Amino acid sequence: MEITVTASAITESDAVDVLIAAGFDVSVFSDQRRGVGLLLSRDGETAAVQVKVRQKTIYEWDALHLLENAHERVLVVVPVASRGLIDAAKRDRRLGVVSLRDRLLVWDREEIHSPDTIGAANASEAVPGRRRNPWGRWALMRAYLLDGEPRSQVELAKETGVTQSAVSKSNRALDGLIVRSASGWRATDRLALWEMFMAEYAGPGGITTHWYGLDAVTDQSNAVVAAGASAGVQVLVSGDSAADQLAPWRVPTRAVIYASSGIALSKLGFAQTTAARATLTFTVPTDQTIWATAASRSQRTTMPTVDPVIAAWDVRRTGGPDADEAVQRIRDFVLARGGS
């Protein structure tokens, strides 16, 4: 089966660095009615916004349509903003715009050009007609990696947090890497499946904010886990901190946290910063399968961690001179303990 690398697309998180560089404090909120959004604070004023990402330029009438059913202000994130979209935001303060390629923010009818160009080179190009991310298929790949024993589709659905029909559809897409026997479904080549996942997975999506702390990375992770428990927010640790629990190799250099909702990290002593300077990244993910795969393969760790495959993906994303070796140790750990 051919392995393809998933095309990069802009996300809500691409807007966060622009907002921070423009002087905003940014935090994440989540509730059942409004979903996930951002709280933007500047000059003593705070506003809740719904973030709308578009992979290509939209125009004034598209933006006005987004405002029709909005319960709060709307922030449109695009690769490059059209003049009509900018003018619409300057007329209606309910509409904000982030234009990534030129680092332009329109907020409160004002055009603000970001003084920080660190992230400019990373502003993603538009991806025309990009399909939805196949979270269910990626979760099923992790399930096959984490356990080499055959299981029924009912069991696989429980492990991944998706429906049986979604498992059936994903199994068809993985034809050639999995096989069905009388005992159930299993992977035929888990190493090939590992490489395919690492090449394809596009990340958890959602909204990511970046923070700087003075404590050791593991202590930073523990502090956020404790705060989440106190606030009733589900938290999972990934990246270096998770790897240090699963297959220790290197000293953790950055904490990676996934949470079901926002947590007031500034009250824990963290300062908001850009991605390049961060010691901790905090994400409220779109990929809801990470909770299920973490729960189905609970590890003997001192903190709640993502499943080892997600941990390895985040270690690789964090980078560093020994990241490849750290990922290999997690891979060997997974393949050695997962059965046939």
Residue 323 has a pLDDT of 85
Provide the token pair at 200: 């394809």
Question: Does the model's pTM come out above 0.85?
Answer: no
Res 322: pLDDT: 82
Domains 12-122 and 135-188 share a fold: no
Coil, helix or strand at residue 207: strand
Instruction: Enumerate the β-bridge partners of residue 207.
Output: 284
CATH number, domain 12-122: 3.40.1350
Give DSSP secondary structure letters for 273-318. --GGG-SEEEEE-S-THHHHHHHHT--S-SS-B--HHHHHHHHHHH
pLDDT digit string (tens) for the chain, length 340 residues: 444 434 457 878 888 888 888 888 888 877 656 667 888 988 888 898 988 889 888 888 888 888 887 778 999 999 999 999 999 999 999 999 999 998 999 999 999 987 654 444 343 333 344 467 899 999 999 999 999 999 999 999 999 999 999 999 999 999 889 999 999 999 999 999 999 999 999 999 888 999 999 999 999 999 999 999 999 999 999 999 898 888 877 788 899 999 998 898 989 999 988 888 899 999 999 899 999 999 987 666 778 999 999 999 999 998 877 888 889 999 999 998 765 5
pLDDT at 33: 61
Domains of the chain, by residue range, sit at 12-122, 135-188, 207-337
pLDDT for res 221 = 95
326 to 230, 281, 317, 323: CA distances (angstroms): 32, 19, 12, 5
In angstroms, the CA 166 to CA 170 distance is: 6
Neighbours of 115 (CB within 10 A): 9
Q: Give the pLDDT score at 32.
A: 58
Give the number of C-alpha atoms closer than 13 A to the C-alpha of residue 168, restricted to the C-beta side: 4
CATH of the domain spanning 135-188, picked from 1.10.10.10, 1.10.3720.10, 2.40.70.10, 3.90.1010.10 = 1.10.10.10
pLDDT, residue 26, reads 87
Axis-axis angle for helices 153-160, 135-146 (nearest 10): 110
The candidate with the shortest Cα–Cα distance to 25, out of 15, 36, 40, is 40
- What pLDDT does residue 339 have? 59
CA 307 to CA 299: how far, in whole Å? Answer: 8
